[in-house]
Structure 1
Amino acid sequence: MSQTNVKSRHHHGDLKPALIKAGIDLLEEGGIKALSLRKCAARAGVSHAAPAHHFDGLAGLKQAIAEEGFRLFSHYLRSACDSGPQDPRDRLRSLCRGYLQFGLDHPGILAVIFGDEGLASLVQFGGKEKADAYLTLRDVAAPFVAPGQDRLVVETQIWSLIHGFTVLYLAGEFGSPPPPIDEGPFAQVIALLEALQPATAP
């Protein structure tokens, strides 16, 4: 494909997002091993040399995909929490549903941003995409943190339970097909989280 044809299909400003989307599509279809600069270029319909102008090798592309993955993950969590009842316990349930739904809709991205490849470490904690997701969790957990208690303890309890459940659910550990989200094991996990007492409760 000539450089002229590449430019005719993608303006300079939208080639990078197109390559990131191509990378995400490859991940969703074949996992981390399916990801390469050459395959991303082919999927985006551009020259195999095009990614070099936007990414510092495959590592740079992975970082960009991790950032986009966290952006989408944050959107799922915020939307779930904002769309339901706003009682602290209801928001906690909504957060868990949003987390699991993200895993169901985008298992490849979930595996990348929290998987064995360690791509979560490529996004600095202070980075907006990653921080937004955690701050949503922190906001939902805040009503359950007692005065003087380390908030990280409560946040870790919630995060560990729902993340672990999501990974097991996606792995088919609860049957195939797995039970509906609000039934069976999920309801039991929510019951465990509901044992947390809001700090304002008597």
Structure 2
Amino acid sequence: MNTHSAAARKKPHHHGNLRSALVQAGIDLLEDGGLPALTLRKCAAQAGVSHAAPAHHFNGIDGLKAAIAQEAFRRFSASMLAAADTGDPSPQGRLKSICRGYLHFGQAHPALLQMIFGVTPEEMEAADTDSPGDHEKGTNAYQILSEACAPFVPAGTDPRIVEIQVWSLAHGFTLLALPGRFIEDGIDHTEALFDQVMTLLHHVGPAPSPTSP
């Protein structure tokens, strides 16, 4: 018998908040083994509780995934805000820092980034939540981006144009960086390339309307 595993199962991980413990257990499974490693039974075992415990908090595996995505969004938002709070406070600097926080979250938590963008808004709303405001967690990250982009949106222009430009730049660069694509001869060039690519932020905004001849 594996005494270490038995001890782990008996350990009271949840400290009175079983739902949060199960979400954290699911996150641990994701980060260790990716989406295939996430099951309700493994999640219960990871949290050290009965295999039936997740059924009291989630509507099946989809409910667990949605709850994990909500927590992932919260941490994603925190990463962007932390980067913004410690970077250049100018509007341009804040926007770049938010993109840097986006990159750093993706590098540290690639499985959570995948989870965030793999769950639909409908699935998020379907999650069985115990905490007020949980449904709002999924909107915070975009709100942070939107507010940082606002100074660069010309009057009378749909703000989504600028927001999607910046979002595409940050998300695309992050996905390209994740496999270690920018590491050459043992040297990681990601940050240097990030700084160069982000100079494109100086040009965000809608394309000028064509002038009449």
Same-fold call, TM cutoff 0.5: yes
What is aligned with 2:99? 96
Residue identity opposite 1:52 in structure 2: A
Query: Which among 147, 165, 173 is matched to residue 173 of structure 2?
Result: 165
What is aligned with 1:183? 192
Residue pairs, 1:1-202, within 5 angstroms: 9=12, 13-114=16-117, 118-121=118-121, 122-124=123-125, 127-175=135-183, 179-184=188-193, 186-196=194-204
Unaligned runs of 5+ in 1: 1-5, 198-202
Residue identity opposite 1:152 in structure 2: R
Normalised by the length of structure 1, the TM-score is: 0.84
Q: Which of these two proteins has the greater Rg computed from alpha carbons? A: 2
Q: How far apart are the structure 1 equivalents of 2:91 and 2:148?
A: 7
Measure how far apart 1:13 and its partner are: 4.1
Residue identity opposite 2:36 in structure 1: K
> In structure 2, the residue corresponding to 1:148 is in which secondary structure?
coil
CA contact (8 A) 1:36 1:58 kept: yes
Normalised by the length of structure 2, the TM-score is: 0.80
Residues 145-174 of structure 1, C-alpha deviation per residue, up to 9 Å, x if partnerless?
001111000000000011011011002332
Measure how far apart 1:87 and its partner are: 0.6
Residue identity opposite 2:202 in structure 1: E
CA contact (8 A) 2:14 2:47 kept: no
Q: How far apart are the structure 2 equivalents of 1:50 and 1:102?
A: 30
Q: How far apart are the structure 2 equivalents of 1:64 and 1:192?
A: 35
Q: How far apart are the structure 2 equivalents of 1:42 and 1:23?
A: 10
Residue identity opposite 1:96 in structure 2: C
* Structure-2 change in CA distance of 1:175 and 1:182 (3 Å): closer
Query: How many residues were matched structurally?
Result: 187
Measure how far apart 1:196 and its partner are: 3.0
Q: How far apart are the structure 2 equivalents of 1:58 and 1:40?
A: 10
Residues 15-34 of structure 1, C-alpha deviation per residue, up to 9 Å, x if partnerless?
11111001001111111111
Residue identity opposite 2:61 in structure 1: L
Residues 116-158 of structure 1, C-alpha deviation per residue, up to 9 Å, x if partnerless?
xx3143225x931111111100111001100111100000000
> In structure 2, the residue corresponding to 1:183 is in which secondary structure?
helix
Residue identity opposite 1:32 in structure 2: L
Measure how far apart 1:53 and its partner are: 1.1
> In structure 2, the residue corresponding to 1:182 is in which secondary structure?
helix
Residues 48-101 of structure 1, C-alpha deviation per residue, up to 9 Å, x if partnerless?
111111111111101100100001111111121122221111101101110001
Percent identity of equivalent pairs: 52
CA contact (8 A) 1:107 1:170 kept: yes
Q: How far apart are the structure 2 equivalents of 1:23 and 1:178?
A: 33
CA contact (8 A) 1:169 1:178 kept: no
